[in-house]
Every structure is written in C-alpha cells, then in structure tokens.
Amino acid sequence: MPRKKKTETPTQTEPVEKRKPGRPKKTEAEKALKKEAPKSDEYEALKEKLFMQNKHAEFSMSVSEITKSNLFCNGYKQFLDNAKTEREAVNEAVRIARTFGYEPFDRKKKYAAGDKIYHVNRGKAVIFASIGTRPLTDGVRIVASHIDAPRIDLKPNPLYEDCDIALFKTHYYGGIKKYQWTTIPLALHGVVVRKDGSTVDIVYGEDEREPKLYISDLLPHLAKDQSSRTLSGGILGEELNIIVGSRPVKNEKLGDKVKLNIMRILNEKYGIVEEDFLSAELEAVPAFKACDIGFDESMIGAYGHDDRVCAYTSLMAQMYGVNNEYTSICVLADKEEIGSVGATGLNSDYIKNFITSLARPYGLDSYDVLENTVCISADVSVAHDPTWASVTEKRNAAQLNRGVCMTKYTGAGGKSGSNDASAEFCGKIRRMLDNAGVVWQTGELGKVDQGGGGTVARYVASMEIDVIDMGIPVLSMHSPYELVAKYDVYMAYKAFLAFVAGGELK
C-alpha cells in the first residue's frame, strides 16, 4: 500500500487579523481616512468654509449700521410719499440732486473731474452724472432703474354720468391684478395741457383733508356670476371705473347734471374744460402713505416699491459717491412696466445720446466710452413668500432680510427676454460686494415654467455693455401696497455705492 504524502503547513510570518465573519478587510485607503478624519468641531469649520452662507442680515450688521439703516429708510419713505408718479419722481430726484451741487447738463461744455450734472428727458426720466478722475475712455459706471409703476390711467375722454353718478373711464398701466384696485382710496396725479398751451399740475386726494376717489365692486350677496369668473377676470378692464361724484347742479331740466357739477368744480380749481382731457396725463394711484410694517418695525409698506426702491437707493449712492475714480451715471427711466418703449424708455437712445454729448468735447465718440462701460440694472426681485411658496423654488429665490439680490438672468421660460450676465462679470460683482461688506443673495423670478419678467438690462446690454440685475426682494409686487425689508433697502444702497464710488472691478 502506497504511503500518503505529508501535506506541509505554510510558515505563517504575520499574525492573522481577527475580524468578525462577513465584515470585509479594511483597505489601506480606508485606514488612512479614518486616521485623518476631522473631529466634529472641525466638520463645522469645514462646512462654514465650503457651504454658501445665507444669513439674516441682523447677524452681519453692527448696532450702528442697523441705526443707519433705519434713518436711511425714513428718507426713503418720505421720497415715496412725494413721488407717486414718474414726473413727481423726476422732480423730487432733481430737487435732492441740486442740494448736492448738481447742475443742468450743457452739451457744449467740457466737464472736469468733480463736476456734477443732470439731464431731464421730457419731464419723465432723468440722468445724473458725476465726472471721475479717470478718462472717459476707461468707461463709466451706470446704475439704471425705473420710476414708473403700475397704476390706473384715465382715458382721453374719461368723464361720464350714469344713474346720477359721475365716473371716469380708465385704462390700466402695467401688469396688475385688477381686483386689487377696487374699494381702496385713490388719488389723482398728473398734468393737463390746456387748449391755450398752458399746463397745470394736478395732485388731488393726497391731503388728509381732501376727498378720495374710488372704484366699486359687487357685494358678495349678488356676486354669483362674478364669482364664477376666473380670478384674473374677476374685474375686467372696462369695469375699473372711478367714482368721482354724485351731486348734481340745481337744475332738474338739464341732462348730465352730476357731470356738469364735476366739470364746474374742475374748472374752478384747475381752469380746465372737458376738451383738455384730450391733452392730459392723469393717473389714479393709491392714496396710501408709506409706513412701517410689523411689531418690530422691520419692513416698509407702500405703493411703488417697484421700482422706486431701487431708484432712491441708486440716487443716494450717486449723491454720496464723491471723489469717484470712474465717471458715474445714475439713470431713472420711464416706461419699464410696459416694455421700456417710447422716448423716455430705455429702449430709446437717450442714454447713448447723453454719453455721446458728454464725450464729444473730448474728441471722443460714444463707442470710445461704452466699450469699457459696466452697468447694474437696478430692479426689484420677487421675495419668497411662505404663504405662496409653490411659485418660487426656495433654494434659488430671494428672501426678505437676506440683503440685496443679485440676479444673473430674468426672463420667462427659457430665459426669454433676459440679459443673462456672464460668469466673469458675476465674479467681479461678487468680489465687489464682499469687499464692501454688503449682505447679498441671489434669486430668480419664480419657478422656471411659472412665469417670469424682464428689466431694462437687455436694452443696456444692446449697447455692448456688461450688465447685471440687482435689487431688493419685494412681497406683493405690483399690488397697490407692496412690502420690503429695511435691511435689504440699506444693503442695496451700500451695493450701489460700492459700484459707483469704488475702484476697478477685478
């Protein structure tokens, strides 16, 4: 019988690692990772270093800066009450600028560093410029906002009488929810050019002792048919009829006795006849005053935040941005709410014409200036509203009290009608804001397919200018009474000031 071969046991040079059944052996990389893993407090530091911070401005502002913010907003509220139309905003802005030494623009004059000038466009838009120490060929800094706001305009032949009630026919201006404009006190603002060519300014209903105007609505008891309409059609445009009186002249034989009494009052007060409505611009606006909102007085409620909040903050930045290295230009434009059309809208050439006139005495053309020019399109953004959270994408929506909002693109759907600022320009603006200690955030105008909107940025960009949107988050935008946070207002001012008064964007 053959002998069995003896099996040799291999020599074990290293001890076998004891491990639980089924658990794989750790690799060298895993051992190294465990050895170098930071402690929990180191993770907190790592998170702060790597994650984007989006804090309430309260935690980034000093006590003195909070005080400055409140004082700044007091001036803003006064501006809102004095500037309820684009014409009034121009007049108020010019009044403020003249106290800072601004003078009317002279196209034939060659201006020097430190000179301050303004140019009014047809009484409804205005440009302010402060000449810097650098040559115009280095470009200028433009902050452009708009001063028109949604409202109710009178039709050219507005006054009529029905059932012993005198009313105005109207045509609303801008994007509004029509039902929001009923059953609130209204004031009438505007200008009338009389038959002889003279003009008269009208502001009626703002004084607390003056009567107001009014648009009626149905009582709920009889609103069965109205309630079956869609929300957007709950009040139709032709139903926005303003009630202006109900007392007749004392002559029962006459027709239109109430209308005649209203025309008598208007003629005695303003010297106008009915035909003068044909050459008038009369706007019905909410007869509300700007006021603080909240037990903590942290917000401002007012008509016209869109976009006079950016107009005021950019105007103040222009006023206080002294000793500019670059020439700075503040533009307060008209007609943005209906597409920036017309001679006073930014879809016209009035900015380019102004820069051409500014450059000509130096032997320069507008292109010599515009090729190095940069701009902030200062317009409001939507604020995330927890009550209506479904329309905004929270990660990419602006929030109240998170600071001024930088918006890379606006538009609707696939960014239609948007400027869409370049990554390089966004990077420069980011660094500028951080270096100036500005609390800021980013935001989009709602979910991608929810809707959208545009600003003046695309019209500035058409001049081959780098431009980005930046502004204040607003709740209840385009309503008769909108809401903003005071901290955001102040941070917008700081951002615009850093832009116009700072050095080179790097």
pLDDT computed for residue 44 by the predictor: 86
pLDDT computed for residue 38 by the predictor: 63
CA dist 488 and 500 (Å) reads 19
More confident of the two residues 465 and 32: 465
pLDDT computed for residue 48 by the predictor: 85
pLDDT computed for residue 39 by the predictor: 67
List pLDDT tens digits, range 464-481: 999 999 999 999 999 999
Whether 22 shows a pLDDT value over 80: the answer reads: no
Handedness of CA 342, 346, 350, 352 (dihedral sign): negative
- Pairing mode, if any, of strands 291-293 and 299-302? antiparallel
Whether 502 shows a pLDDT value over 90: the answer reads: no
- Pairing mode, if any, of strands 466-471 and 404-407? antiparallel
Q: How confident is the model at residue 486 (pLDDT cuts 50, 70, 90)?
A: very high
**DSSP assignment string, 211-260:** --BEE----GGG-HHHHTS-STTSS-GGG-PEEEE----S-TTSSSHHHH
pLDDT computed for residue 224 by the predictor: 94
* Amino acid at position 506, single letter: K
List pLDDT tens digits, range 241-256: 999 999 999 999 899 9
C-beta separation of 157 from 277 below 8 A: yes
CA dist 134 and 22 (Å) reads 74
pLDDT computed for residue 445 by the predictor: 86
The C-alpha angle with vertex 85 and arms to 79 and 86, in degrees rounded to 5, equals: 95
77-91 mean pLDDT: 98
Q: Residue 435 corresponds to which tokens in the numbers above?
A: 């270096």
442-465 mean pLDDT: 88
Write down the pTM of the prediction. 0.90
Whether 158 shows a pLDDT value over 80: the answer reads: yes
Gyration radius of the chain over CA positions: 31
CA dist 128 and 319 (Å) reads 9
Instruction: Assign 391 to helix, strand or coil.
Output: helix
Distance of CA 312 to the CA centre of its chain: 10
* Phi then psi dihedrals of residue 474, to 5 deg: -130, 135
CA dist 372 and 305 (Å) reads 31
β-partners of residue 484 are 300
155-173 mean pLDDT: 98
Whether 190 shows a pLDDT value over 80: the answer reads: yes
Domains and CATH numbers, the chain: 57-149+303-501 (3.40.630.10), 152-286 (2.30.250.10)
**Listed range (47-61, 224-238, 441-455) with the worst mean pLDDT:** 441-455
Whether 3 shows a pLDDT value over 60: the answer reads: no
Whether 147 shows a pLDDT value over 60: the answer reads: yes
Q: How confident is the model at residue 506 (pLDDT cuts 50, 70, 90)?
A: confident
Q: Residue 227 corresponds to which tokens in the numbers above?
A: 């309630």
DSSP letter assigned to residue 349 = S
pLDDT computed for residue 32 by the predictor: 64
C-beta separation of 399 from 385 below 8 A: no
Residue 222 neighbours by CB under 8 Å, 6+ apart: none
Full 3-state SS string of 119-164: EEECCCEEEEEECCCCCHHHCEEEEEEECCCCEEEEEEEEEEEECC
CA dist 458 and 15 (Å) reads 73
CA dist 242 and 237 (Å) reads 12
C-beta separation of 365 from 352 below 8 A: no
50-79 mean pLDDT: 94
pLDDT computed for residue 351 by the predictor: 95
pLDDT computed for residue 73 by the predictor: 98
Q: How confident is the model at residue 30 (pLDDT cuts 50, 70, 90)?
A: low
Q: What count of Cα atoms within 13 Å lies in the side-chain half-sphere of residue 415?
A: 9
C-beta separation of 497 from 321 below 8 A: yes
DSSP letter assigned to residue 390 = G
List pLDDT tens digits, range 321-354: 987 899 999 999 999 999 999 999 999 999 999 9
Q: In which region does residue 339 sit, left (phi positive, over 0), alpha (psi from -120 to 50) or beta (all else)?
A: left
229-249 mean pLDDT: 96
List pLDDT tens digits, range 357-387: 999 999 999 999 999 999 999 999 999 999 9
pLDDT > 90 in the chain, percent: 82
Residue 495 neighbours by CB under 8 Å, 6+ apart: 376, 404, 433, 436, 438, 440, 470
pLDDT computed for residue 418 by the predictor: 87
Mean pLDDT score of the chain:
92
- Pairing mode, if any, of strands 466-471 and 482-485? unpaired
